[in-house]
Structure 1
Amino acid sequence: MVTRGDGGPADGIDDGAGREATGQARVTATRTVQGRRFTSNVIPSLVFTVDLLCLVVSVPVAVILYTLVFRQEVVPGVHTAAGFIAAIAFFLIRQSRGVYSQSFSVLQSGDTAVAVDYLMSALLSSAVVWQFGLVDEFSRGLTLAYVGSVTTTLFVSRFVLRAALRRLADSGRIRQRVVLYGADKDTVERTCRMLDLQALPQLLLVGIADDYSRSETRDPVGNLPFIGGFPELLAMAREGQVDQVLIALSDMTRERIELIIEKLSEVAIDVSLIPREAIALAPDYRVNFVGQIPVLTLWQRQMRDGNTIVKDVEDFVIATLALVFLSPLLLATALAIKLTSRGPVIFKQPRFGFNNREILVWKFRSMYTDRQDVTGAARTTKGDPRVTPVGRWIRKLSIDELPQLWNVLRGEMSIVGPRPHATHMKVGDHYYFDAVRGYAARHRVKPGITGLAQVRGLRGEIQTIERAKRRVELDRYYIDHWSLGLDLRIMVETVVNLAFDKNAY
Structure 2
Amino acid sequence: MNSAQRPKRNRYVRFTSNVLRSGGIVNDALCYLIAYVVTVLIYQGWFGYYFDSRLHTTAVIIMAINFFLIRISRDAYSAFRGQGDDLGSGTFLDFLVAVTLTGFTIIQFGELSDLSPRFALIFLGLCIALLIASRLLFRRFVWLGMRHGVIGQRVGIYGADREVTSRLLELLDIERLPHINIIGFADDRRTRVETGMIGRFPYLGGFEELLELARRGMLDQLIVALPLVQQERLNKIIEELSAGAIDICIMPREFLVLRDRYRVNYIGSLPVLSVWQQPVRDFDGILKEIQDRLLALIGILVLSPILLITAIAIKLESKGPILFKQKRFGFNNLEIEVLKFRSMYTDRQDESGGERTRKGDPRVTRVGRIIRRTSIDELPQLFNVLRGEMSIVGPRPHALAMRVGDAYYHDAVRGYAARHRVKPGITGLAQVRGLRGEIDTIERGKQRVEYDIYYIENWSPLLDLRIILETVFKLVWDRHAY
Residue from 33, 52, 62 that aligns with 2:29: 52
Identity of aligned residues (%): 34
Aligned partner of 1:268 in structure 2 is 245
- Distance apart, 1:245 and its partner CA: 0.7
- Which residue does 1:250 correspond to in 2? 227
Aligned counterpart, 1:279: 256
**Residue 179 of structure 1: SS of its match in structure 2?**
strand
Q: 1:479 to 1:241 in 2, by over 3 A?
A: closer
Q: Which residue of 2 aligns with 1:295?
A: 272
Equivalents in 2 of 1:255, 1:19: separation in Å? 33
Please tell me the residue identity of whatever aligns with 1:166: W
Give deviations 1:288-311, integer Å, cap 9, x for gaps.
Answer: 333444433222256988999xxx
Find the partner of 1:199 among 176, 181, 198: 176
Asked whether the equivalents of residues 111 and 158 of structure 1 are also in contact (C-alpha less than 8 Å), the reply is: no
Q: CA offsets per residue over residues 349-391 of structure 1, 9 Å max, x none?
A: xxxxxxxxxxxxxxxxxxxxxxxxxxxxxxxxxxxxxxxxxxx
The residue aligned with 1:118 is: 95
Q: Which amino acid in the other structure matches residue 237 of structure 1? A: A
Between 1:148-157 and 1:294-303, the stretch displaced more is 294-303
Partner of 2:14: 37
For residues 275 and 252 of structure 1, what CA distance do their matches in structure 2 show?
11
Shift of residue 204, structure 1, vs aligned partner:
1.5
Do 1:112 and 1:155's aligned partners in 2 also have CA atoms closer than 8 Å? no
Decide which of 104, 111, 128 is 1:127's aligned counterpart: 104
Is the 1:210–1:217 contact (alpha carbons within 8 Å) kept by the matching residues of 2?
Answer: no
Return the alpha-carbon distance in structure 2 between the equivalents of residues 304 and 71 of structure 1: 45
Whether 2:137 is the aligned partner of 1:160: answer yes
Equivalent in the alignment of 1:179: 156
Deviation at 1:188, TM superposition (A): 0.4
- Residues in 1 aligned to 2:109 and 2:422: alpha-carbon distance in whole angstroms: 43
What is the number of equivalent residue pairs in this alignment?
309
Call closer, same or farther: CA 1:302–1:187 in 2, change over 3 Å: closer
Instruction: For residue 247 of structure 1, give the secondary structure of its aligned residue in structure 2.
Output: strand
> Counterpart in 1 of 2:42?
65
What is the RMSD of the two structures over their aligned residues, measured on CA atoms? Answer: 4.4
TM-fit CA distance, 1:49:
0.9
CA drift of 1:228 comes to: 2.0
Distance (whole Å) between structure 1 residues aligned to residue 409 and residue 186 of structure 2: 48
Report the AA paired with residue 154 of structure 1: L
Alpha-carbon contact 2:223-2:248 (below 8 Å) kept: yes
Aligned match of 2:120: 143
**Pair 1:287–1:82, CA change in 2 (3 A):** same
* One-letter amino acid of the counterpart of residue 57, structure 1: I
CA contact (8 A) 2:207 2:241 kept: no
- Amino acid in structure 1 at the alignment position of 2:275: L
1:210 matched to 2:187? The reply is yes
- Aligned pairs (5 A) from 1:318-467: none
- Work out the CA distance in 1 between the residues paired with 2:417 and 2:160: 38
Alignment deviations for residues 165-210 of structure 1 (CA, whole Å, 9 cap, x no partner): 2222234332210111243211101111122223333212112222
Superposition deviation, residue 110 in structure 1 = 7.3
Cα 1:191–1:257, aligned 2, differ >3 Å: closer, same or farther?
A: same
Cα displacement string for residues 317-364 of structure 1 (whole angstroms, at most 9, x for unaligned residues): xxxxxxxxxxxxxxxxxxxxxxxxxxxxxxxxxxxxxxxxxxxxxxxx
2:221–2:248 Cα contact (<8 Å) kept: yes
Could you tell me how far apart the structure 1 residues matched to 2:23 and 2:124 are?
22
| Residues 36, 123 of structure 2: 8 Å contact kept | yes
Kindly state the Cα deviation for residue 99 of structure 1 after the two structures are TM-superposed.
4.2
Asked if the contact 1:218/1:226 (under 8 Å) is kept, the reply is yes
Rounded Cα–Cα distance in structure 2 between residues aligned with 1:202 and 1:474: 30
- Counterpart of 1:250 in structure 2: which amino acid? P
Distance change >3 Å, CA 153–CA 212, structure 1 → 2: same
Q: Which letter maps to 1:283?
A: D
Please tell me the residue identity of whatever aligns with 1:228. Answer: G
Cα distance in 2 between the residues matched to 1:122 and 1:142: 14
What SS class does the counterpart of residue 214 from structure 1 fall into?
Answer: helix
1:11-69 residue CA offsets vs partner (Å, 9 max, x unmatched): xxxxxxx999xxxxxxxxxxx98xx7322222222222111112122332222222234
The one-letter amino acid paired with 1:238 is R
CA 1:283–1:82 in structure 2 vs 1: closer, same or farther (change >3 Å)? same
- Cα distance in structure 2, aligned partners of 1:477 and 1:208: 31
Shift of the 306–258 alpha-carbon distance from structure 1 to 2, 3 Å rule, reads same
User: Partner letter of residue 254 of structure 1?
Assistant: Q
Q: Secondary structure at the match of 1:40?
A: coil
Conservation of the 8 A alpha-carbon contact between 1:39 and 1:175: yes
Q: Distance in 2 between matches of 1:195 and 1:121?
A: 35
**How far apart are 1:127 and its partner, in Å?**
2.4
CA–CA separation in structure 1 for the residues paired with 2:206 and 2:409: 52
Between the aligned partners of 1:166 and 1:467, the Cα distance in structure 2 is: 37
Partner of 1:189: 166
Report the Cα distance in structure 1 between the residues aligned to 2:410 and 2:219, rounded to whole angstroms.
52
Contact 1:104 1:200 in 2 (8 A): yes
- Give the drift of 1:240: 0.9
TM-aligned CA distance change 1:106 to 1:129, over 3 Å: farther
CA change 1:119–1:292 in 2 (3 A) is same
Q: Which moved more, 1:243-252 or 1:285-294?
A: 285-294
SS of match in other structure, 1:204: strand
Letter in 2 for 1:186: E
C-alpha spacing 1:418/1:82, structure 2 compared with 1 (3 Å): same
**Any stretches of 5+ residues in structure 2 without a counterpart?**
286-331, 336-388, 391-396, 401-406, 425-482
Q: Please identify the structure whose Cα radius of gyration is greater.
A: 1
Q: 2:153–2:179: 8 Å Cα contact kept in structure 1?
A: yes
- Per-residue CA deviations over 1:195-234 (Å, capped at 9, x if unaligned) read 2223333212112222224333544322322222212211
In 2, Cα distance between the equivalents of 1:456 and 1:153?
A: 38
Partners of 1:250 and 1:468 lie apart in 2 by 27
Q: Helix, strand or coil for the counterpart of 2:18?
A: helix
Higher mean displacement: 69-78 or 238-247: 69-78
In 2, are the aligned partners of 1:302 and 1:481 still within 8 Å (CA)? no
Q: Which amino acid aligns with 1:194?
A: L
Q: Which residue identity lines up with residue 59 of structure 2 in the other structure?
A: A
What is the alpha-carbon distance in structure 2 between the residues aligned to residue 61 and residue 272 of structure 1?
45
The one of 205, 230, 236 aligned to 1:228: 205
User: Which amino acid counterpart does residue 191 of structure 1 have in structure 2?
Assistant: L
Deviation at 1:115, TM superposition (A): 5.8
